[in-house]
Amino acid sequence: MMLRYLAVGLLALPLAAADLTEQYRATADKLIDAALADTEGYNRLAFLCYRIGNRLSGSPGLEKAVAWSVEQMKAAGLSNVRTIPTKVPHWVRGAESAHMVAPYNRALHMLGLGSSIGTSEAGITADVVSVNSFDELAKLGRAKIQDKIVVYNEPYTGYGPTRVYRSTGAARAAEFGAVGVLVRSATGLAMQIPHTGEMNYDEKWPKIPAAAISPEDAMLIARLIADGVPVKVHLEMGAHTLPDADSADVIGEIVGREHPEQVVVMGGHLDSWDVGQGAQDDGASIVACMQALAIMKKLGLQPRRTIRVAFWVNEENGGRGGVAYREFVGADIKNHVAAIEMDGGAEAPRGFGAGVDAASMEMLKQAAKLLDRIGAGEITGGGGGSDIQPLIRDGVAGFSERTVGTHYFDWHHTEADTLDKVDPEDFRKNVAALAVMGYVLADMPDRVVAGASGGRRGGRGQ
């Protein structure tokens, strides 16, 4: 008898999942149709990019963006719009330049790395050593690195494995007595564009100035040195860190009709680096998330659970917005059903990564079919992102919206991260994907259950 009941139960699972697809097909089509016809969201993004611009933590641009975000959420008709105050780091780039002064004079394309110290007013002039890896650095040792500038000419093999030279390269070089580092930008595209980003020091070693240079400049220096030609570089950086500044996350929501205490949150980071406009990283993402809720509101849709949009601050150089949000949630973390982070740009959407258990994954695979019409029906294991990591660590199911990512690292953290890189049609498809997935997660009869997470980087902001 027990075996018969078990068999009946197992047979019912696929049917229940299939029913989920049909249950939401009409609503999903309405959301997709509205998103694909929407122009308001892209216009909001244009204002953020052209009228506010880049938004580094501690800058006037970020605080202007916080105020604007509150206005836009209220204009979209969201409820409980509020800010969550937090202190953020305040790093200032200052004037900066790098020149190769031997074997000939040539300006280098450079951007100081976030959190780097500056040079003296006179700058640093030093001989250069070039390495392709940390192993090569160690083989050279202190005798060949002392009082020199290290150039990391690491070949790009993907953002994850390559960014470690940017984040820890200064500390590793300082261990051997280097006076500065220049890191080949973490990109596969060579167009004389330097890419900035976060770096970290090690308290065991002196802090030394660190900057990114273009791939072409790194390859030039490496080839000269390999040919036995001595290279000398002059580096000037006015970078400095001021006391922490006041800032805030911004949230708004559609309150659930049956379980208002249960929450599905989706969002991205409001801050950006101090170059470009922060269009793909991460302006397009936060506006797409907000517009997904705005469209639900216009269609009169109110899911069972509360669906919330969050604009987190300080993702790029500290992560304090995600921490502040977790502290805001407090003991109610048990009522956070899912957290979706979008931090990989708004190119054509492919689907979602989901850190859920096996049973939840089967349901989501059926629900994802609702997005096949826009090419975003892919569901894979692992979902997360740096801003929602504090939630995931405490048991919330993490999701990451994923795109084709064809060109994201061409403009990532550069002056080229501007609105023209955001295709309006792709942007609207992202709005549609977020609207459908967000609504289904907030309305489906059963809660998803957290499972294996994709780790820190569902997104790619830092």
- Catalytic (active-site) positions: 315
Contact at 8 Å (CB) between 451 and 360?
yes
Phi (first) and psi of residue 123, to 5 degrees: 85, -170
Q: Give, as one character, the DSSP assignment of residue 118.
A: -
What are the DSSP calls for 168-228, one per residue? HHHHHHHTTT-SEEEEE-S-S--SS-----B----TTS----EEEE-HHHHHHHHHHHHTT
Distances (CA, A) of 203 to 170, 200, 240: 12, 10, 18
Contact at 8 Å (CB) between 97 and 118?
no
> How many residues does the structure list for the chain?
462
- CA–CA dist 118, 96 (Å, integer): 9
Q: Which residue has the tokens 């069972």?
A: 304
- CA–CA dist 254, 300 (Å, integer): 10
Q: Which residues contact 292 (CB under 8 A, 6 or more apart)?
A: 35, 266, 309, 431, 434, 435, 438
Going by DSSP bridges, is the β-strand pair 349-355/378-381 parallel, antiparallel, or unpaired? parallel
